[in-house]
Amino acid sequence: MLLSSSFTSISFPSPKFNLSRNRSPKRILKMAEAAKKPRSEISSSHVVYVLGQQQKIIVLNKHGEKLVGLLHETGSADLVILCHGFRDTKENYIMVNLAVALEDEGISFFRFDFAGNGESEGTFQFGNYRREADDLHSVVEYFSGAKREPSAIVGHSKGGDAVLLYASTYHDIRTVVNVCGRYDLKKGIEECLGKDFMEVIKKEGFIDVKNKSGDGNYRVTEESLMDRLSTDMHESCLQIDKEFSRRFSTYGVVTIHGTADEVIPVEDALEFAKIIPNHKLHLIEGANHSYTSHQAELASLVVDFIKAALQLDKATSN
């Protein structure tokens, strides 16, 4: 189901659902599994490591923490940044599958771990939404400083919020892809922390979230909870068009969401569509939050939107 907001002033070509030969579902899944396997040992004495056709790159964020990522260089002038979700890493299979699809189309990309996740330094925080947008900014600045300005940013789940917050603050990336980001950050907390989470955290100062085996999984501090509760995606998204329209004649924000998302309801995507101009909304019928049975369709949609945006950008700049 393809929907666009009533404010849309540019038109992306409709994505084709018949996947190209190189982007077949089997190929995506097979290559994604291969991409997860380490290709060499990593030395801690260098900043950039070559791993086959990948480079391991370390970027310092504004807090002095090392953000670790992988640059997949295809030789293209364009560069896409991939952002993982809540308590996840650059090795999440959604990130890897998107990486495979982009690589198949000859588009270079960089996938990295936010601070406190994966190989990156820092402590995981339940909130940190704006701080993760700042991490993304550090990555963009790194590549811009190397005369390699990113063309698009893509985020899944919490990463979807990060790319939208980035767009609302920094206004320098034309194409933004939000894959099932959360619109109302006050929701979904009770499911993680329990019904009386506010009372408990005010009393104890923190809540330890347990996994199914009963072991400690992660700690939510009062500060990190308040950070999440104070992050207003509605007000932030209202800032996207105001600044972008002054700097760019063409740009696009795309939201993709599964109709069977069990973590973040599809209604959140509809709210984004109401308030973000130059916005496209695509709902994937039957897809859950992890796109378990819809990896190929998700990858195809993301790549087709990015390709269309790049073509439009090049056409208008000539």
The whole-number pLDDT of residue 213 equals 60
DSSP string, the chain: -EEE-TT--S-PPPPP-S--GGG-HHHHHHHHHHHTS--S---TT-SEEEETTEEEEEEE-TTSPEEEEEEE--S-S-EEEEE--TT--TTSHHHHHHHHHHHHTT-EEEEEPPTTSTTS-S---S--HHHHHHHHHHHHHHHHHTT----EEEEETHHHHHHHHHHHHT---SEEEEES--S-TTSSHHHHH-TTHHHHHHHHSEEEEE-TTSSEEEEEEHHHHHHHHT--HHHHHHHHHHHHHHH-S--EEEEEEETT-SSS-THHHHHHHHH-SSEEEEEETT--TT-TT-HHHHHHHHHHHHHHHHHHHHHHH-
Can you identify the CATH homologous superfamily of domain 2-185+233-317?
Answer: Alpha/Beta hydrolase fold, catalytic domain (3.40.50.1820)
The pLDDT tens digits for 4-48 are 333 333 333 333 333 444 555 555 555 445 444 443 333 332 233
Show the tokens assigned to 138: 């550090």
The pLDDT tens digits for 123-139 are 999 989 999 999 999 99
**Rg over CA atoms, the chain:** 19
> What value does the mean pLDDT take over residues 173-200?
93
> Is pLDDT of 221 > 70?
yes
End-to-end CA distance of the chain: 33
Amino acid at site 204: E
In the predicted model, what is the mean pLDDT of the chain?
A: 83
Q: Is 43 helix (H, G, I), strand (E, B) or coil?
A: coil
Quick one: angle between helices 222-229 and 129-145, nearest 10?
80
> What value does the mean pLDDT take over residues 142-148?
93
More confident position, 18 or 160:
160
> What value does the mean pLDDT take over residues 206-221?
78
The whole-number pLDDT of residue 115 equals 96
**Of the candidates 69, 56, 67, 126, the residue with the CA atom closest to the CA atom of residue 95:** 69
More confident position, 111 or 248:
111
| 288 within 8 A of 261, measured Cβ to Cβ | yes
> Is pLDDT of 317 > 70?
no
What residues does each domain of the chain span? Answer: 2-185+233-317, 186-230
The whole-number pLDDT of residue 228 equals 95
- Banded pLDDT at 314 (limits 50, 70, 90): confident
- Banded pLDDT at 53 (limits 50, 70, 90): confident
- Banded pLDDT at 186 (limits 50, 70, 90): very high
The whole-number pLDDT of residue 19 equals 40
- Who contacts 129 (Cβ-Cβ below 8 Å, separation ≥6)? 158, 161, 162, 165, 185, 227, 228, 231
> What value does the mean pLDDT take over residues 129-155?
95
The pLDDT tens digits for 54-85 are 899 999 999 999 999 999 999 898 999 999 99
> Is pLDDT of 242 > 70?
no
**Of the candidates 318, 44, 309, the residue with the CA atom closest to the CA atom of residue 150:** 309
Please tell me the distance from the alpha carbon of residue 87 to that of residue 209, in angstroms, as a whole number.
Answer: 12
> Is pLDDT of 2 > 60?
no
Please tell me the distance from the alpha carbon of residue 179 to that of residue 269, in angstroms, as a whole number.
Answer: 9
pLDDT cut 70: percent of the chain above it: 78
Please tell me the distance from the alpha carbon of residue 131 to that of residue 144, in angstroms, as a whole number.
Answer: 20
Please tell me the distance from the alpha carbon of residue 112 to that of residue 232, in angstroms, as a whole number.
Answer: 25
Strand 54-60, strand 66-72: pairing: antiparallel
